[in-house]
Structure 1
Amino acid sequence: MRGKIQLSRANVAYAHDIFMAAISLPLSLWLRMGSSIGSVPSNFIIQSTVLFAIIAAALFLPMGLYKGIWRYASMNDLIQITKAVTLTVLVFALILFVVSRAEFLPRSLPIINWFVLMALLGGPRFVYRLVKDRHLELGTDTKEKPGIPVLLMGAGDEAETFIRAIRRQPGAAYRIVGVLDEKGRRVGRHIRDVPVLGTPEQLDIIMRRLAADRPQRMIVTKPGLDPGLMRRLLDLAEAQGMTIARLPGLTAFQTGVGDEIEVKPVAVEDLLGRPQAVLDRPAMQALIARRRVLVTGAGGTIGGELARQIAALGPSEIGLVDSSEYNLYSIDLEIAEHAPDIARQAYLADIRDPQAMASVFAGLKPELVFHAAALKHVPIVEDHVAAGVQTNIAGSRNVADLCREHGARIMILISTDKAVNPTNVMGATKRVAESYCQSLDRARDDNGCRFLTVRFGNVLGSTGSVVPLFERQLAAGGPLTVTHRDITRYFMTTREAVELVLQASTLATAANTAAGGIMVLDMGEPVKIIDLAEQMIRLAGKRPYEDIDISIVGLRPGENLYEELFHDAESLAPTDNAAIRLATPRVADHEVLVRAIDEICAAANEDNNDTCRSLLTGLVPEFQSGTADATSATAS
């Protein structure tokens, strides 16, 4: 039914334009000749009018005049009208000159006709839009002042779009009373009659001026706002008792169907994010396109995002490996929905099982392998050392050995900053996996598989991470639990981490990439967890320590106060991407490493946690076994 209505409206607009084209010619002739129009034969006027209307009917439709909606008439519509009118007038003038040399018509008629037809086509569209907009504005009873009074942060195009959309929405949830400008360049001016009142730093003065109609919320309209400024806005809004929200982007405005506007809360990613890294997307496309790609741990946070982004780059086939049936089902279904043309295979397999993984490799014959499967939760692995060894060491070795055996081009090991000077079993086992892949990369021949390790810190929102924990605690009314007042962590978003993993992977084939090197992602500045907790409480519209408390519960087994991205013995070198650095390898003898791994894996198969822990200290000399307290963690 909606399609029929839209089609009928387009037909009405088309008929309107043809009618206007038909009357534009005699009207233009009358404007040019006045009472002398009688000197032109009436038959000639009628024939010329019919010809002009036929030309217009033939040209208007293919030139896209009816893709737009009159209520949203814009400069783009005016440009399309200009093109159509110009072509119509030129074709008409050419035909008339060829047929009759235009002997009865003044030479200035085409120019006059151009202006007349522009007015007849463009005028009704913009008048209609003006009437509709004005009708909605007048339809709002300003005495009742409906909607929540809000301030907008950002005096750009997004603010104008938001104001316009709000005014088109009867009974809108928001009433915009003013705009803030970051740099103050537009202060004193108006955006659709809404005043630009000042800068964020002048908020206290502005709020006093608006005391009679005090804003209750600040909406950030400017995209890509600096995280430092976003944190400052959060503090300023809290001091004034305002909540803060943001627009998700211009795509949130559903023009053409309705004017529903979705304003979202400011997310913790907005406070911790960094400017978008410059990515060489053609290189990423060249790496992935038309190749068979395998992702282990595909049901996890990083593995799942890897699968999504890889599928978007057009591999010939993608293999998804996970030991969780539900996680595997979920990511397989998602890839099927978003990339239905990409061949895919879902493998319910455990990387600890060499036979199962051998079957996966034999079936898919992957050219690229992204190894994201791992046990990553520090307290769990601390209590289950043997399981950590079996997954993070033996499982990684299984995948790496199969890459060599089946002729894969590149294997990318996803590692962690906890592998640097590890104070916990999880970090130590990941460091052994790094060492094994480094030794294989250094021992390869010219045509052998490259083994690349990519190391980064915490990912916002990943399963078991601090952000979802804080969200659950906030929903329950608190308190938020922090292990130590001084504990810090590096953070980046899942999307950003995976983009940089793919970018780092393109460097694996570069001639200047050292064998056995580790790609270290730029994580920005570390964040104090207690500051993160306070910011999340404020984002929820609450006051830290008053509405929601924060409890210091003490460091967990294996937890350290801060984390590092590279070891003192690893010198860092720049790469072609400023967000990725190359840590030179710490050399380990491959045969010695293999024997040590055999020994610790044998102990793990016997579920001997104590022996595994002891052997880890030999494999990773910097590993400080045992419960980390504040002193030992700081020393690490």
Structure 2
Amino acid sequence: MSIFDSKSILITGGSGSLGKALVRQLLDNTGVRRIAIYSRDELKQFHMRSEFKDNSRLRWFIGDIRDKDRLVRAMHGVDYVVHAAALKQVDTGEYNPMEFIKTNVLGSQNVIEASIDAGVSKVVALSTDKASSPINLYGATKLTADKLFVAANNYSQSYGTSFCVVRYGNVMGSRGSVIPFFQNLASQGKPMPITDLRMTRFWISIDDAVKFVLDSFEIMQGGELYVPRIPSMKIVDLATAISPNSEIVEIGIRPGEKLHEEMISAEDSRRTIQVSKNRFLVLPVVAEWNFNIPEGEVMKERTAYASDTNELWLGSSDMAEFIERMN
């Protein structure tokens, strides 16, 4: 039995890498009744329809999360929503800040209001490590969206809609991952450009990311922010894993880029509980509803969960094994 059996689910940004992986998992392992894909790109939807052989449980909505009326129409009869749609390129956000605000902030507000108006039961919004102590516009918009989704529970509970946030790091195997970029350079015998040789990042496989998101629907109360306990990796080691003999060239940090990422800030640590071996829960700052604090180990105060001080690490051999499985 699954909570998704006989349910209708809508995925914003559903034609992306994570959306496709979510659809595959739901179709293969649950009795989901209907999955609505909501995205702007008709070509990606066309390819996805072909990939899933026009599965009768899939529905296709061309739409932008900036359009609240379209969202309300698409959410009619929907039980659960995964909000994955966002503008994500860090340097693009620095040059086009208003567009990122329109999509990542105002679009997220539209998702919240449309979910309530349509009577959706549960919404899980996807965040990013760049939303913790943000220094770039993209991270700032995602932090704002996180706070919108958490605070939405202050007035949505009486409507029967609950919201929570899932925050994780770089997804191995996703369309935006640096892995295919490095692989393409390696195939051409070109050097590997790395902005700073000291750089580290959090990494999670796309299958683990999907499982974490779907498991969050099972356990969420509404108002929490979930963070997976995942490994870090040096970008230098990643490049070496992909092409051991390629030259590595340091090119300098790009606008808005961090040397190391974090998923839980030092300030948020005092509100963070490790509720299982692989899951942290960040409590809401303000909870005007009945939130039951689960059991678990409280994170050490003033200790950030950052990619350079992480306890778990991937080496070149670990990543090489993963890339081989991907291929």
TM-score, scaled relative to structure 1: 0.43
Q: Distance in 2 between matches of 1:466 and 1:474?
A: 12
Task: Tell me what 2:311 maps to.
Answer: none
Q: Distance in 1 between matches of 2:267 and 2:287?
A: 13
1:485 CA drift (Å): 0.8
Radius of gyration: which is bigger? 1
Q: Evaluate the alpha carbon distance shift between residue 443 and residue 567 of structure 1 in structure 2; reply closer, same or farther with a 3 A threshold.
A: farther
Secondary structure in 1 matching 2:157: coil
Secondary structure in 2 matching 1:445: helix
- 8 Å Cα contact 1:303-1:373 kept in structure 2: no
1:433 maps onto 2:132 in alignment: no
Q: Distance in 2 between matches of 1:517 and 1:446?
A: 18
Of 515, 521, 526, which aligns to 2:228?
A: 521
Task: Tell me what 2:4 maps to.
Answer: 288
Task: Tell me what 1:574 maps to.
Answer: 274
Task: Tell me what 1:268 maps to.
Answer: none
Secondary structure in 1 matching 2:226: strand
- 8 Å Cα contact 1:302-1:498 kept in structure 2: yes
Aligned runs of 1:2-13 on 2, under 5 Å? none
1:349 CA drift (Å): 0.7
Secondary structure in 2 matching 1:294: strand
Give CA deviations for 1:176-217 in whole Å, capped at 9, x if unaligned: xxxxxxxxxxxxxxxxxxxxxxxxxxxxxxxxxxxxxxxxxx
Task: Tell me what 1:533 maps to.
Answer: 239
Question: Quick one: which amino acid aligns to residue 317 of structure 1?
Answer: R
Q: Distance in 1 between matches of 2:97 and 2:287?
A: 23
Of 264, 281, 284, which aligns to 1:585?
A: 284
- 8 Å Cα contact 2:116-2:159 kept in structure 1: no
Higher alpha-carbon deviation: 303-312 or 487-496: 303-312
Of 43, 56, 60, which aligns to 1:346?
A: 60
- 8 Å Cα contact 1:483-1:552 kept in structure 2: yes
Question: Quick one: which amino acid aligns to residue 345 of structure 1?
Answer: R
Q: Distance in 1 between matches of 2:287 and 2:253?
A: 32
Give CA deviations for 1:13-46 in whole Å, capped at 9, x if unaligned: xxxxxxxxxxxxxxxxxxxxxxxxxxxxxxxxxx
Aligned runs of 1:595-614 on 2, under 5 Å? none
Question: Quick one: which amino acid aligns to residue 227 of structure 2?
Answer: V
Aligned runs of 1:161-560 on 2, under 5 Å? 282=1, 285=2, 287-312=3-28, 313-336=30-53, 340=55, 342-362=56-76, 365-445=77-157, 448-508=160-220, 513=221, 515-524=222-231, 526-538=232-244, 543=245, 548-560=246-258
Q: Distance in 2 between matches of 1:305 and 1:396?
A: 22
Q: Distance in 2 between matches of 1:309 and 1:569?
A: 35
Q: Distance in 1 between matches of 2:285 and 2:170?
A: 24
Q: Evaluate the alpha carbon distance shift between residue 336 and residue 452 of structure 1 in structure 2; reply closer, same or farther with a 3 A threshold.
A: farther
Structure 1 segments (4+ residues) deviating >3 Å: none
Give CA deviations for 1:499-540 in whole Å, capped at 9, x if unaligned: 1111122111xxxx4x4210111112x1110111112113xx
- 8 Å Cα contact 2:119-2:159 kept in structure 1: no
Secondary structure in 2 matching 1:565: strand
Give CA deviations for 1:331-380 in whole Å, capped at 9, x if unaligned: 2333346xx4x522100111111222222123xx2100001111111111
Q: Distance in 1 between matches of 2:176 and 2:42?
A: 19
- 8 Å Cα contact 1:295-1:369 kept in structure 2: yes
**What are the ranges of 5 or more consecutive residues in structure 1 without an aligned counterpart?**
1-281, 590-636
Q: Distance in 2 between matches of 1:328 and 1:588?
A: 38
**What are the ranges of 5 or more consecutive residues in structure 2 without an aligned counterpart?**
289-327
Q: Distance in 2 between matches of 1:304 and 1:355?
A: 25
Question: Quick one: which amino acid aligns to residue 63 of structure 2?
Answer: A
Q: Distance in 1 between matches of 2:176 and 2:80?
A: 28
1:447 CA drift (Å): 5.7
1:446 CA drift (Å): 5.4
Higher alpha-carbon deviation: 313-322 or 550-559: 313-322
Q: Evaluate the alpha carbon distance shift between residue 289 and residue 554 of structure 1 in structure 2; reply closer, same or farther with a 3 A threshold.
A: same
Q: Distance in 2 between matches of 1:521 and 1:573?
A: 12
Secondary structure in 2 matching 1:485: coil
Give CA deviations for 1:206-248 in whole Å, capped at 9, x if unaligned: xxxxxxxxxxxxxxxxxxxxxxxxxxxxxxxxxxxxxxxxxxx
Question: Which of the pair is proportionally richer in helix?
Answer: 1
- 8 Å Cα contact 1:297-1:374 kept in structure 2: yes
Q: Distance in 2 between matches of 1:569 and 1:306?
A: 32
Secondary structure in 2 matching 1:444: helix
- 8 Å Cα contact 1:455-1:519 kept in structure 2: yes
CA RMSD in angstroms comes to 1.7
Give CA deviations for 1:407-450 in whole Å, capped at 9, x if unaligned: 11000101111100011111110111100010012333356211
Question: Quick one: which amino acid aligns to residue 463 of structure 1?
Answer: R
Q: Distance in 1 between matches of 2:130 and 2:145?
A: 12
Q: Distance in 1 between matches of 2:93 and 2:166?
A: 21
Give CA deviations for 1:59-117 in whole Å, capped at 9, x if unaligned: xxxxxxxxxxxxxxxxxxxxxxxxxxxxxxxxxxxxxxxxxxxxxxxxxxxxxxxxxxx
Q: Distance in 1 between matches of 2:80 and 2:37?
A: 12
Question: Quick one: which amino acid aligns to residue 47 of structure 2?
Answer: S
Higher relative contact order (CA 8 A, sep 6+): 2
Give CA deviations for 1:283-307 in whole Å, capped at 9, x if unaligned: xx2x211001101111111122112
Give CA deviations for 1:569-611 in whole Å, capped at 9, x if unaligned: 3222133x4222111123399xxxxxxxxxxxxxxxxxxxxxx
Question: Quick one: which amino acid aligns to residue 390 of structure 1?
Answer: K
